[in-house]
A = this chain, B = another copy of it.
Amino acid sequence: MGRPFTLLMPRAAVVGATGYLGGELLRVLSQHPDFELAAAVSQSRAGERLGDVYPNLSRFGDTTLTASTDPVDADVTFLAQPAGEAMKLAPSLLERGIRVVDLGPDYRLPDPGEYLRVYGKPHADPAHLPEAVYGIPELDRAAVRSARLVANPGCYPTATLLALAPLWRAGAIGTSVVVDAKSGTSGAGAAPTSTTHHAEASGTVWPYGSPEHRHVPEMRAALSTLTGSSPSILFVPHLVPLVRGILCSIYPTPAGNVDPAGWADLERTAYEGEPFVRVGGVPRLPWAAGTNRCYLSVQPMGSGAVVFSALDNLGKGGATQAVQNANLMLGLPETAGLLQSGFGI
C-alpha cells in the first residue's frame, strides 16, 4: 500500500546518492517544492553529511548518508546504480508499495534474454519486466501516470527517440538512420578511467561503442513498443571535451516521397504545448544544462536534412526526467520543481 500521501508531502529516497545521477537527483529534489527527502543511500560514503559531500546543495545539508534502504518510509525511490543492482532491490520496494524509478538499465529491455545478451548476466527479476514502463512522458504520458515501476531511459535514447518518434510515427522516414552523438564526459560516470582522465579526454573527440553501444538495443525496443516497428539505427557515440550535454546529429533517410523540409512541422505539431520540448533553431547545450529541456531542430543540408537533438545527459537524459516521471506517478503537477531556466551561456 505505501504511505497515504494526500495529506503529507510525498517522500523520496535516492539510492546511489554519490554517483553523478544520484547527486543530480539530490540537486533537483532540493529545488522541488513537493518532496521531502526520505533517505540518501550510499555504500561508499555512509555516515557523511550531505552538506559535506555536496556543498552545492541549498537544502538537505544536515541529512546523513545511509548504507541501507531497507526500512525506508518513502513514496518513491530513485535507483541510480550500475546495471544489476536495481533488479535486486526493486521487488522488495514494490512489495512495500513504494513506487520505483530506476535510472539504470535493468528494466529497460522487455526481453530478459536480450538483457542477458547485452549485460552479460541473467535478469534477476523477470516477473516485473512486463509492468515496467519506459518513461519518456512526451511519448506515452498515460503509461507513466499509472506505473508503479518506471525504467528511466538512457541519455542517448531520450535524445534520439524524442527526435525520431514523431517522424517514424508519421511514416516520414525510411528504415535506416545514422545517429552521430556527442556527449560530455559526465555521461561516463564518476569513476575515474583512462578514457575520462582529463589529460586524455580534453584534447580530443573520442568515438567509442564499437561494435554496438548498450543503448542501441534499448532504442530498438522502445521504438518498437512506442510505434509498433523500428528503423535500423547505426549509432556512434563520441566523447567531446564538455562535462554536461549531448548533441545527437540524426540522419534519417526520407521515406519514399517525403520532402524532409516537412520534418520540422511534424516535430512542432508533435510537441505543441509540451513544456519540456522545444522545436526551433540550432540548439546550444548550455540552454539545456541542469534542466529538463530537450531542444530539437531540423536543418536543411544539401538535398536532405539533418535533425539535431540536444539535452543534458544528467537532466532530461537522467535525473530531471526521473523526477518528471515521479511527479506523474504520484499525481503531482508534471512540471513541479522542473521549470528553472537554463543558462544562456
Interfacial residues, chain A to chain B (CB-CB below 8 A): 20, 23-24, 27, 30-31, 54-59, 178, 180, 182, 184-186, 188, 190, 192-194, 196-212, 216, 232-236, 238, 240-245, 247, 249, 251, 278, 280-287, 289-290, 295, 299-304, 306, 308, 339-345
Contacts and interface: CB of A to CB of B under 8 A. Distances in A.
A240 B186 contact: no
Given A197-B192, A197-B197, A20 B345 contact: yes
Given A192-B196, A284-B204, A240 B343 contact: no
A249 B238 contact: yes
30 contacts: A20-B345, A31-B339, A31-B341, A54-B344, A55-B295, A58-B340, A180-B180, A182-B238, A185-B199, A188-B199, A196-B197, A196-B198, A196-B199, A198-B243, A199-B243, A199-B345, A202-B241, A203-B284, A206-B282, A206-B284, A207-B306, A209-B301, A210-B282, A210-B306, A211-B299, A211-B301, A234-B251, A236-B301, A241-B241, A290-B343
Copies of this chain, count: 4
Contacts of A55: 278, 280-281, 283, 287, 295
Given A23-B344, A178-B178, A212 B302 contact: yes
A27 B343 contact: yes
Contact of A180 (B190, B242, B249): B249
A251 B212 CA distance: 15
A155 B233 CA distance: 29
A197 B190 contact: yes
A176 to B, nearest CB: 8
A70 to B, nearest CB: 26
A345 B306 contact: no
Contacts of A241: 198, 202, 240-242
Contact of A344 (B24, B184, B344): B24
A326 B196 CA distance: 34
Contacts of A184: 199
A234 B198 contact: no
Contacts of A245: 203-205
A203 B345 contact: yes
Contact of A299 (B178, B198, B210): B210
Given A56-B287, A251-B234, A202 B202 contact: yes
B301 A234 contact: yes
A204 B342 CA distance: 13
Nearest to A345: B199
A304 B234 contact: yes
Contacts of A249: 180, 207, 236, 238
A210 to B, nearest CB: 4
B57 A341 contact: yes
A180 to B, nearest CB: 4
